[in-house]
Structure 1
Amino acid sequence: MPAPSHLDPRLLRAFLAVAEELHFTRAAARLHIAQQALSRDVRRLERELGAELFVRSTRQVTLTADGECLVPYASRVLQAQDALLAAFGQAGPLLVDLNYRGAATARRVLHRARELAPDHELMARYESGLTGAAEELLAGRLDVSFGRFAGLDPVLRARLEHQPVRCEPMAVVLPEDHRLAALDAVPLAALAGETVYAGAGNPRTTEWTDLARRLFDGRGIGIAPPVPLAVGEEEFERIMAKMGNPILAVVGFPAMPRTVLRPLIDPVPVSLVSLVWRKRLVHPGFDALRRAALELSAEEGWLRVPSGGWLPAIDADVIRLRD
């Protein structure tokens, strides 16, 4: 069969989604199309190329040798198409997840990026956790997020890119009548015997709960059990007030009624925040976002761990491997 003179980029996008998901239903959901339409596009591409790209069975989907060969070519074609559209002002808004409305680091990076790229739209979103945002990134419903990359499942990490931005000192939110509220800073040892809320049971923030477990291990600090999942700041504050437990946070966490925020010391624990995006993302606003993160990290010394500070080895490796 002669080689086709033209390939519809839509067919390549359908192929690549299946190649990455190895699952037609998930790929169809990611592209916001019916599974039948996705299967039809893949079959059409196979006909036009004269090659079988997938081995399909009732239990699994795998790439053939021809499918493996096509992946890098399809990726480059789609990247070039996205770059072309961006160069001529046809790129849509860049959807940037800040996790929560008071996220100081993410907001500063976004503000600087908007200054660097005033002609491009960078739209803020709030997904309340990198684990939840990662699924949205892979589905194409978000472009960029911020959070603890090392805390993601390795399967998710393999499908995303990241750039370390800041080692944020951690803190604890205390009810204003708590026994430790009068302190200017709370030694970790002083939390022994306490049960601290760290998002346990929330499927969107498992990376944060994992960090808490690593920090509390061997220190006699418990993790509060799951609570009803609160949507919105008012509901979160109401649930936290009703529960009455200290809350693990970072020093820039926004104020809550009838509480105080105290930095943690002895040692100073830090949470590594990274910029995270799906592979092959091309967008002029994204270039500005990465530049903003690099500039602020350098200017503010954001990636320095305080002397005697605490950072899990798995997170330290994230910084080391990017250097």
Structure 2
Amino acid sequence: MPSTSSLPSLSPTSPASPAPSASAHVDPRLLRAFLVVAEELHFTRAAALLYVAQQALSRDVRRLERELGVELFVRTTRQVSLTADGERLVPFARRVLGAQEELVAAFREELARPLLVDLNSPGLLTGRRVLHRARELAPEQELMARYESGLAGAVGELTAGRLDVSFGRFAGLEAGVRAGLDHQLVRYEPMAVLLPEGHPLAALAEVPVDALAGEAVYAGAGNPRTSEWTDLARQLFDGRDIDVAAPAPMAVGEEEFERVMARTGTPVLVVVDFPAMPGAVLRPLVEPVPLSAVSLVWRKGLVHPGFDALRRAAVEIGRADGWLRRPVNGWIPAIDVDMLKRRK
């Protein structure tokens, strides 16, 4: 789009021409006023087309002449005609206004498209609740769910513009990836362990973290889409004699995941809202209460009214349900603590 400051210097037609203004910018509104007068060659008709008073239109044209330092019209009591500089300005004004209209149309189209929201997995509650509330706050917007398994799996789609937002542990992403993204903390989500019904710890109402000593706990190892979750597990288990279980066959869908976990009989690190699974029991972890810092994550520069509703929904639910209150005995990795402090 040509810059309004790049319009050519229009030489005065006579020594009586207005002195150039110090302004380096031309208001597109003034160009539009000029163009309508240039097309109508009649101030009264042009003012009617622009829905402004004739005196206001005359002031705008005089202001444009002052800013450009030229006379654009020859005015007599009987007619209005363009000067040579006025004729030279016409194609520039049309191009500038045309480019402005194209820009506005392009962004209107962008804002009208669906907002693509990654919920990681259909069974996870946090993102789903935020999405449902955002749809209530902005019913005129289309917010569409996507499922990319984990935040690490979603970032490529985020940066490429094929996905708008996702949920997950922002601190678990590589620094180079984080540089192009932004985030908003949504919830300190308590973690839990999914145990086979016959496991000795299944009889407990809550499972102390240290009670898992000697166990190998599945935390998505080998799944590149959930590496931020595997990293969280390694930090939680460090120094506790708890191993991250070796990679299991990649299971796609709830049914396959349930089948593979039932066959291996391995405890699974999950969050407290993880959906029920046949043949297994969910037990909250305590002493300490490990927390997953779940953020809403988006690519920098994202603008969309549905995105605004999503952020408002996260704040609203977080306040109502205490999602941002950390238990006294809560635990999150030091890198998460540091990153969240810098985000404030």
* Common topology (TM > 0.5): yes
1:85 pairs with 98, 108, 111, which one? 108
CA contact (8 A) 1:97 1:144 kept: yes
Paired residues in the alignment total 247
Q: Secondary structure at the match of 2:232?
A: helix
Does residue 100 in structure 1 map to residue 121 in structure 2? yes
Deviations 1:68-111 (A, max 9, x none): xxxxxxxxx9xx7589416xx95111100000111111111111
Task: Give yes or no for contact 1:83–1:283 (8 Å, CA) kept in 2.
Answer: no
Post-superposition CA distance 1:193-222 (Å, at most 9, x none): 000000000000000000000000000101
Q: 1:243 matched to which residue of 2?
A: 264
Aligned to 1:230: 251
Partner of residue 41, structure 1 = none
* 1:190 partnered with 2:211: yes
Give the alignment partner of residue 152 of structure 1, picking from 170, 173, 183: 173
Q: Give yes or no for contact 1:83–1:282 (8 Å, CA) kept in 2.
A: no
SS at 1:256's partner residue?
coil
Q: How does 1:1-323 map to 2 (within 5 A)?
A: 4=2, 81=104, 84-85=107-108, 91-323=112-344
Q: Distance in 1 between matches of 2:319 and 2:278?
A: 34
In structure 2, distance between residues paired with 1:234 and 1:209 = 22
Question: C-alpha deviations, 1:241-283, integer Å up to 9, x for none?
Answer: 1111000000000011100000000111000000000111111
Residues 266, 168 of structure 1: CA spacing in aligned structure 2 closer, same or farther, 3 A cutoff? same
Alpha-carbon RMSD = 1.9
Matching residue's letter, 1:238: R
Percent identical? 69
Measured against aligned partners, the alpha-carbon deviations of 1:51-74 in whole angstroms (never above 9, x if no partner) come to xxxxxxxxxxxxxxxxxxxxxxxx
Instruction: Give the drift of 1:5.
Output: 6.5
Task: Report what 1:68 is aligned to.
Answer: none
Q: Go from structure 1 to structure 2 and tell me whether the alpha carbon gap of 1:81 and 1:149 turns closer, same or farther (over 3 Å shift).
A: farther
Contact 2:111 2:303 in 1 (8 A): no
Q: Which amino acid aligns with 1:172?
A: V
Q: What residue ranges of structure 1 are gaps of 5+ in the alignment?
A: 7-76
- Conserved 8 A contact 1:268-1:309: yes
TM-score (norm 2): 0.69
> What does the per-residue CA deviation read over 1:110-129, in whole Å, with 9 as the maximum and x for residues that have no partner?
11100100000100111110
CA gap 1:221/1:91 in 2 versus in 1, 3 angstroms: same
Instruction: Tell me, in whole angstroms, the C-alpha distance in 2 between the residues paired with 1:128 and 1:138.
Output: 17
Q: Is the 8 A contact 1:137 1:277 kept in 2?
A: yes
Asked if structure 2 preserves the Cα contact closer than 8 Å seen for 1:82 and 1:91, the reply is: no
Q: Give the aligned residue type for 2:184.
A: Q
Deviation of 1:318 (Å): 2.7
> For residue 165 of structure 1, what is the amino acid of its counterpart?
V
1-side partners of 2:313 and 2:104: how far apart? 25
Question: TM-score, normalised on structure 1?
Answer: 0.73
